[in-house]
Chains A and B, each alone.
Chain A
């Protein structure tokens, strides 16, 4: 195929250019703050950067999306450098990776940047910010801003509107406000939208004991909450709605993928080979956690002190290799290269567990509408989990896959109204309403 032509560069309107002109100063203010000024004038730099970035982004996105009638506007995604692994995409990926490396292992280099979050942290938690408060605030802020973009871009789809609002709400309340308030009351700073096995430490004996011995009722409530969601919420909700109730409505990782990551969702690999890798890698991580948790409890129940060190060792290894490298640096840092759900697809133990339930014991499926598919490939292209949706749709088969997070984008981009996310009886959920033609040939060859 011929290379994209010159004029395929995005044509930006005046309001979009003004938006960018406001966004970049906001970004530069944040950089200057990070280089030192943040420690001297934390409030000023924090607020100035926040205002410029917020107003600039809103202007840019509303000019980009609200100026055209509502509908799917994936125009130029395959040409734009940002979204097609061009130089801008690579630069952004490098920036993300650098940020993660500094934040996890060299936070002292971010000292002045973190200082910009002290006033907010003092206000909410009554203590200065550390790197993870800075990260959590930035994460929440990003989901809100890019969530607004998703709301504008997909405003023709009520499913996307409701889902995006849920994701923003969940991040802001469960992963930002509640943990901050808990911290203000000297309670364990728990992100209540995460639980075992994603928040793997939650059910380790050491953590359970810690919460049981912690003064006050809230820690007991947190323990009960974790146990409830892990053992009751996960199977019951997944049975009724599929894993989407968590992965694309509640989870913060999913929230970031569906907001910040939206420009890159098409980059996930759809090959059969990557599906094979996915099955090995994701269930390995789940097994690792299940086995470790089981061993730790056995050890604990038999009063063994032998494995006392294992817990700490495991947490250090897993936290480094899986939590930081896999979920952070690769999972999010490489959004612009491998697409948005690398962690969710290849690593997340929660997604693995929910996926097993969804595949074998759930009312959820994506229905294929009769024989209307014309194999265009929009569904597969925009599936962030790398499912070759078209493969099912064109043969009139429902999509029942462990990995599907139910983001609903295949249904939204389908130009022929072929795909629909539905909950229904278990009987016949995989079997399909095949082509009208095939039906009349039941007794055929």
Chain B
């Protein structure tokens, strides 16, 4: 029986394993030294905050793996013998494979700052990182987080729940400047400050200073300011975790290089998830995709190829979501931080400044290209339908209620949104048509 070995038990690797099992009875082995069982990485923050225990972050009960004949090996792959088709483990043993999937995820970036390896300085990615944060932050009063992205804001939220003061240093002029337009960045920044986080823009890390025990005691900013602290979170992005693959026959760049069927340069070896890099990404997509949902889609697609039905990656319309303390964020299609030529955007924000909607559209055809929602839940299928069908902005606004996914009794903002559009576009008055409700999207 063909033996498929998967390195990494994150969302990409496990999705691949589950789908290979759905389609076939191939022998399956998943290797990881992070945890015996699959857990939800985005849920790590909730363990620290006390919302959940580790057990509850596991999407499947422990019997699931045996029941589905998926062998779990707790070890770390040291080397891949591409000729002998073996994965060589740290423990010394090796596992032969007929097909290999590399799904080793990412590791937090460190940019060579002095003091970056001191005790109490770390990124936040793995279960081991969580344990380290627990230890390093026990009983401390002041922490510094460097880098304004999704992991940074999660780490800030975590530390705040334990009564730790947080200074949040962001290099850009507004929050998550590489992804969010300025208004959304400001909205998030205001909210972060409401939670008593000291958010500082245009502040860079220059150096981390330790005490005589090798523990962090302060950071020095680009402006030369010394900020005392007992913990430093480095959340300046992640990069593919592929050190053990470099110097093998498998071609790599930033990540493991793959074609659209996730095949690496070596036959029968595939790479998926955060650690993979498309040689030719599909239009509008990045070569390295580092989010949960893409990992899931990679896994599901590669499973088909491995089971004999060669299937190229067809990701469809981009979507993502996150939560900034209490403000939920959903995005569909393409919304860039800077508008591209030929594109315009309609932006609405509630007077309280904690909810907003941005719709990017083609300035000539008025076709909608992307959505940002903050503090309002939107229906995935409806937004996707509008983008796929290049629906025109006024029509989308008229049936905006169809995309509302907020719980019952929540305040609806569609009327406010339309009246703002009307005041910005005199002479092109539109009125709200669809009412909020299930399947109202079918009416569009």
Contact = CB atoms under 8 A, between A and B. Distances in A.
Given A159-B409, A374-B292, A377-B57, A420 B317 contact: no
Given A367-B438, A370-B379, A371-B319, A70 B300 contact: no
Interface string B292-319: 1100110011001001010100111101
Contacts of B438: 367, 422-425
A381 B51 contact: yes
Contact of B315 (A11, A423, A424, A437): A437
A377 B139 contact: no
A81 to B, nearest CB: 12
Q: Which of A2, A68, A423, A445 has the most CB of B within 10 A?
A: A445
Given A8-B162, A375-B59, A369 B46 contact: no
Given A70-B326, A271-B61, A372 B321 contact: yes
Contact of B50 (A74, A157, A421, A440): A74
A157 B311 CA distance: 43
A158 interface: yes
Contact of A159 (B292, B316, B410): B410
A161 B411 CA distance: 13
Interface stretch (A100-108, A283-291, A407-415): A407-415
B54 interface: yes
B326 A72 contact: yes
B380 interface: yes
B138 A5 contact: yes
B43 A375 contact: yes
Contacts of B406: 420
B413 to A, nearest CB: 13
Contacts of B285: none
Interface string B316-333: 110101110110101000
| Chain A interface size, under 10 / 10 to 19 / 20 to 34 / 35 or more | 35 or more
A79 B50 contact: yes
Interface in B271-309: 292-293, 296-297, 300-301, 304, 307, 309
A377 B326 contact: no
B23 interface: yes
Given A159-B410, A441-B304, A1 B384 contact: no
Contacts, number: 187
B149 to A, nearest CB: 16
A397 interface: no
A71 interface: yes
Contacts of A156: 326
Interface in B361-410: 377-381, 384, 405-410
A7 B380 CA distance: 41
Contacts of B297: 435, 437
Given A8-B50, A71-B325, A415-B323, A440 B316 contact: yes
Given A6-B139, A377-B43, A369 B52 contact: no
Interface string A1-34: 1101111100100000000000000000000000
Nearest to A391: B59
B319 A372 contact: yes
A270 B317 CA distance: 34
A378 interface: yes
B163 interface: yes
A158 B61 contact: no
A78 interface: yes
Contact of A69 (B53, B61, B304, B326): B326
Interface in A142-195: 156-159, 161-162
A86 interface: no
**Most chain B C-beta atoms within 10 Å of own C-beta, residue among A80, A158, A380, A417:** A417
Contact of A444 (B131, B311, B317): B311
A6 B57 contact: no
Interface in A361-389: 367, 369-372, 374-378, 380-381
B11 interface: yes
B300 A381 contact: no
B339 interface: no
B166 to A, nearest CB: 15
B161 interface: yes
Contacts of A374: 11, 40, 42-43, 292-293, 321
A7 B377 contact: no
Contacts of B379: 369-370
Contacts of B338: none
Residue from B300, B317, B380 whose CB has the most chain A CB atoms within 10 Å: B380
Nearest to B314: A440
Nearest to A163: B409
A444 B309 contact: yes
Q: Which of B40, B139, B191 has the most CB of A within 10 A?
A: B40
B56 interface: yes
A272 interface: yes
A154 to B, nearest CB: 11
A219 interface: no
B296 A378 contact: no
A418 to B, nearest CB: 9
Give 3 closest A-B pairs by Cβ, nearest first: A370-B380, A71-B326, A424-B438
Interface of A: 1-2, 4-8, 11, 68-72, 74-80, 156-159, 161-162, 270-272, 367, 369-372, 374-378, 380-381, 390-391, 394, 408, 411-413, 415-417, 420-425, 433, 435-438, 440-441, 444-445
Given A77-B50, A376-B43, 13 more contacts: A1-B54, A5-B134, A8-B50, A76-B50, A156-B326, A158-B411, A374-B321, A375-B42, A376-B52, A377-B59, A378-B43, A415-B323, A436-B315
Interface of B: 11, 23, 40, 42-43, 46-47, 49-54, 56-59, 61, 131, 134-135, 138-139, 161-163, 191, 194-195, 292-293, 296-297, 300-301, 304, 307, 309, 311, 314-317, 319, 321-323, 325-326, 328, 330, 377-381, 384, 405-411, 437-439
